[in-house]
Amino acid sequence: MLVVAPWSAFWQRNFFADTVPLLQQLAGNPFVRGAVSGIGAITALAGFAELVGLFRSTRGAEASPERNAEV
């Protein structure tokens, strides 16, 4: 969501940005939009890395019967 939202029309029609002029200027700045997209991309990559680690650990536990006997 953070990767796409800053570049959509949703970002421009924000209640808080309409209420506070400083927020409207910040939200419209391409550097701020890029920073928010970058944070979203880093978060997504970290989440995928966690999922890969989770799937690898569950496959390893299923593959070795002696590990299941210890638990």
The number of domains in the chain is 1
Does pTM surpass 0.75? no
Q: Quote the CA–CA distance of 63 and 71 in Å, as a whole number.
A: 14
Q: What is the pLDDT of residues 11-55, one digit of tens each?
A: 888 888 888 889 889 988 999 999 999 999 999 999 999 999 998
- Domain ranges, residue 36: 5-70
Structure tokens belonging to residue 19:
């209420």
Q: What are phi and psi of 29, to 5 degrees?
A: -70, 125
